C-alpha cells in the first residue's frame, strides 16, 4: 500500500528510491508491504512512520485506486491523506519532494506508481 500525502497547496509528496534498491533513483508514493497479522491501514500507518517519521490518522485516509501488473504478484493500493502529525523527513528514501499534479506526471516512477499517479491526477482535476 501507498499514500498520496497532499498539502494545503495541492502538492503531492513523493520519495526517491535509494540508488542501491530496485528501481533506484525513481520517484514513488511512500508506503510498503503488509506484515503478518497487520491490517492494510495499520501497515500503512507503520510504514509511513518508518519512512517519513510522521503519524497518520486512520480516519483521514481515503482509498483511491490500486495498480497491478499481470506478470507480477504485487498489488499496490493508494490512499489519499490531507492531514498528518509531524514534518515528513526522508528516513528511508534518498530524497522527498512536493510536486504539483503537472510535475508529478513528468516524474520517472516505478511501473506500479505510474497508473496510481494517473488515477490521482484524474481524481484531483475534477
Domain boundaries, the chain: 2-124
Over residues 50-71, mean pLDDT = 93
Which phi and psi angles does 65 have, rounded to 5°?
-160, 180
In this prediction, residue 126 carries a pLDDT of 67
- Least confident residue range of 37-41, 69-73, 83-87: 69-73
Cα–Cα distances (Å) from 10 to 74, 82, 83, 90, 124, in that order, read 29, 9, 12, 20, 9
* 125: pLDDT strictly greater than 90: no
In this prediction, residue 55 carries a pLDDT of 97
| 8 Å CB contact between 77 and 66 | yes
| CATH number corresponding to 2-124 | 3.90.79.10
Amino acid at each position: 500500500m501507498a499514500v498520496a500525502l497532499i498539502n494545503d497547496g495541492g502538492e503531492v509528496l513523493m520519495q526517491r528510491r535509494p540508488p542501491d534498491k530496485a528501481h533506484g533513483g525513481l520517484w514513488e508514493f511512500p508506503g510498503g508491504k503488509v506484515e503478518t497479522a497487520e491490517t492494510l491501514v495499520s501497515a500503512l500507518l507503520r510504514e509511513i512512520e518508518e519512512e517519513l517519521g510522521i503519524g497518520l490518522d486512520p480516519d483521514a485516509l481515503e482509498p483511491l485506486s490500486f495498480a497491478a501488473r499481470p506478470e507480477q504478484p504485487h498489488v499496490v493500493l493508494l490512499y489519499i491523506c490531507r492531514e498528518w502529525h509531524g514534518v515528513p523527513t526522508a528516513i528511508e528514501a534518498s530524497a522527498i519532494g512536493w510536486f504539483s499534479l503537472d510535475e508529478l506526471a513528468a516524474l520517472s516512477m516505478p511501473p506500479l506508481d505510474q497508473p496510481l499517479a494517473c488515477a490521482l491526477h484524474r481524481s484531483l482535476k475534477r
